[in-house]
Amino acid sequence: MKIEKKIGIIDFGGQYAHLISSRIRRLGAYTEILSNEESLDKYKEYSGIIFSGGPQSVYDNNAPKIDKEVLELNIPILGICYGHQLLIKMLSGEVSHSHNREYGYAELHIDKNKENKITNGLESLEKVWMSHGDEVTSLPNDFTAFGWSESCKYAAVMNEKKNIYGIQFHPEVYHTYNGKVFLANFIKICGLSGSWDLQKFLDWKVREIQYRVPDGKKVFMLVSGGVDSTVSYVLLARALGKERIKGLLVDTGFMRKNEVLQLKEILHSMDFDLFVADESELFYRSLEGITDPEAKRKIIGKLFVDVRDKVADKLHLNELEWMLGQGTIYPDTIESGGTKHSQNIKTHHNRVEAILDLMEKGLVVEPIKDLYKDEVRELGVLLGIEKEWTIRNPFPGPGLAVRMIAQIDKQEDENLSEIQVIISKYPNLECSILPVKSVGVQGDQRSYAHCAVLNDFTEDWNTYNHVATTLINKVESINRVVMSPFQKRLPSKWEINPIQLDRRFSDILREADDIVSTFLVKHNLIEKIWQMPVVLLPLGMEKNRYSIVLRPIESLEAMTANFYPMDRLLLKNMVDSILKTVSDISCVFFDITNKPPGTIEWE
């Protein structure tokens, strides 16, 4: 299938290149991801081009560039973040390192006295999402500014005569309130309004799968019971027929409480051809003594392939007939460095070396790898899947193993004076640094930094949000902040208590996770809270006692998220229930970090 009218997204390595693509499609125009090294004739095929963001500075020696002749093609061009800065530099403007980094919400002032096509329908003051360390400081000839923030003078600029626009903020994320209006305006400028929808994508994907999986080939699908693998299974069955799909559910020992039994019953009720392999002891043995997060994910990913091969041999499946199916979605690939210039935020279990080797041989099929979670859920509805499945909270393939923080990183004292300056502005606020680190994404780059903890000094979630954002923006050694609910004073010292990736500690986390999951259903929070990881930390208020982190977030596509401001009474009931029921837990934290800068999962 060939689409004649389309918008090209040039990938400069930003975390949001495919998110931009997804947003444009959902707004009614077809998109394709392009490299910055395509031929000029290739770029001429598009009705509009968007320069994505990227992790580098435009002045870095190895920063990705693009042929300047692209700017003379007489087609609309939009530069976002790095793409904005690159446009300006290419046209002889100036870009400099910013003394006021912006990660998170900002207020964009729009000059409504300069009416133009790109701001139609926007207000004079808009909430937008920023993530940058550089900024434009001088404009090229024939460019004017139509938007600015407190820390960024040229946050939105244009040469309207040539339909070239540059913006420092991210309109593609849901946290930019009217980002869809801005993007819809660009689509209209390109002349493509209403030319694409998800039903057309489904029709195209069915044909692609039929081409990708030739006659005589079948698919051995790794399923977890989550929405991604369920939609993938149903989509593969739609394209190839059920007789060519077999599901494999691996019990890793890191599943949720009673999860395996429930999944067996539910998936069989949906007529899945499902085989369940209990390999929990294998996973526990293989992860014994492992604390490094990357090593953990790589071991788990390889074990999935090993188990698949073992089960295939047990079932006498001819390896020449079978391909591996995975419910991979786009955030999995992009966070694993899935595009040419992108940073490796974290290696996902379905992007380890063994999987990549199979992909190189053309033996892996991933039917929804270009979609985001919101699109997967909508696609599930189109495929006739029950709503109870499409709204389920996501659960990582490696299970609770990536929610058990086994690596201990002693806290550092170098930034304590800087932290003290920040918290001194708030009466009764205390802050300390936990002896653990977590993964984050800041300015499109991977960060691995400490977590700060605050005492319970206010009931205002907006104040917590402001403090957390300030700490992360100002203190480089911090990329995540939690608060300790209903603890007016923090302990003078945290006891470090190592944990192992074994059954005992899995059961501790499993019990706490089950309390939280049951609580969400009981209080009708399952649709309000998009996901709520429960994380086990190797520290507590006393010896041989541990801590739990609650990570309730609001999101639609997983590339951005904000913490859920939970009702204080509900939070009190949840915390009390965990502390009362799970005797090994002495402290419960509440994660108040948005994404960016913190990833949804800690590892």
Residues annotated catalytic, as ranges:
81, 170, 172
User: How far is Cα of residue 366 from the mean position of the Cα atoms in its chain?
Assistant: 18
Helices 373-382, 227-240: axis angle to 10 degrees equals: 50
Q: Which residue has the tokens 């059954």?
A: 503
Q: Per DSSP, what are the bridge partners of residue 274?
A: 247
- Return left, alpha or beta for 366; rule: phi > 0 is left, psi -120 to 50 is alpha, else beta: beta
CA angle, 361 as apex, 359 and 365 as ends, to 5°? Answer: 45
* Residue of 218, 354, 224 whose CA lies nearest to 276: 224
% helix / strand / coil in the chain, to the nearest 5?
Answer: 35, 25, 40
Distance (Å, whole) CA 183 – CA 27: 8
Helical spans, DSSP H, in 241-368: 259-269, 280-286, 293-314, 330-335, 353-360
Token pair 């001819």 in the structure block, residue: 318
| Beta strand ranges found along 179-254 (DSSP E) | 218-222, 245-251
Give the span between the Cα atoms of 531 and 557, in whole angstroms.
11
What angle is formed at CA 515 by the lines to CA 510 and CA 518, rounded to 5 degrees? 115
CB neighbourhood size of 591 (10 A): 25
DSSP-derived secondary structure for 542-581: STT-EEEEE--EE-SSSSSBEE----HHHHHHHHHHHHHH
Output the six-digit token pair for 84.
Answer: 């904005």
CB 24 within 8 A of CB 14: no
**What would you measure as the largest C-alpha separation in the chain, in angstroms?**
72
Q: In Å, what is the CA distance from 534 to each residue of 506, 517, 590?
A: 12, 9, 10
Residue 569: phi and psi, rounded to 5, are -65, -40
CA 565 to CA 464: how far, in whole Å?
10
What does the angle CA 415 – CA 421 – CA 424 come to, to the nearest 5 degrees?
130
Token pair for residue 286?
């293989």
Residue 288 corresponds to which amino acid? E
Q: Is the dihedral of CA 429, 432, 436, 442 positive or negative?
A: positive
Number of Cα atoms under 13 Å in the Cβ half of residue 58: 29
Nearest-angstrom CA–CA distance, 182 and 186:
7
Strand partners for 147: 110, 156
φ, ψ (nearest 5 deg) of residue 560: -135, 155
Q: How far is CA 511 from CA 252, 367, 516, 518, 522, in A?
A: 16, 34, 9, 11, 16
Residue in the structure block whose two tokens are 């499609």 = 25
